[in-house]
Structure 1
């Protein structure tokens, strides 16, 4: 079954989300519908744990790697000198 959406604003939004997420528009629409159905309590079947964990790992991997704000060493932060005295 095909779904035809004749709403330019929705089409543009779906395309923007797909580009931002690095997935297809089909995946964006599918994920959005599944999410809303879950919120509304329309679905009770969860994907297998392996798939849920893989999706979570992909989200975590996509996060930017932030460097620490404070670049001092642990000893400098704690106040120890070169002899290990506080």
Structure 2
């Protein structure tokens, strides 16, 4: 079954969200409808665990890598060469 979006503004918004989130428009619509169903108290079948974990992995991969601190563990913790503060 297909859903046709005849509202150009809505279609553009769905595409912008999909691009920003790094997911498909289908995923944006799915999450939006499931969220709304939950708010309305309607039963909504959760995606399979594999799908939820895949989505979570995608989110984790999208987090920008921060450069690591160049200091040693001892320097970060404040230990000196004798193992004391």
What is the TM-score when the length of structure 2 is the normalising length?
0.69
Q: Could you tell me which residue of structure 2 aligns to residue 77 of structure 1? A: 76
Shift of 1:13: 0.6
CA offsets 1:16-72 (integer angstroms, 9 cap, x no match): 11222233323322221122212322124222223222222222222112235x543
Matched with 2:66 is 66
- 2:20 corresponds in structure 1 to 20
Matches for 1:15-54 after TM superposition, within 5 Å: 15-54=15-54
C-alpha distance in 2, partners of 1:25/1:37? 18
Query: Counterparts of 1:18 and 1:59 in 2: how far apart (Å)?
Result: 13
- Give me the TM-score of the superposition, normalised by structure 1: 0.68
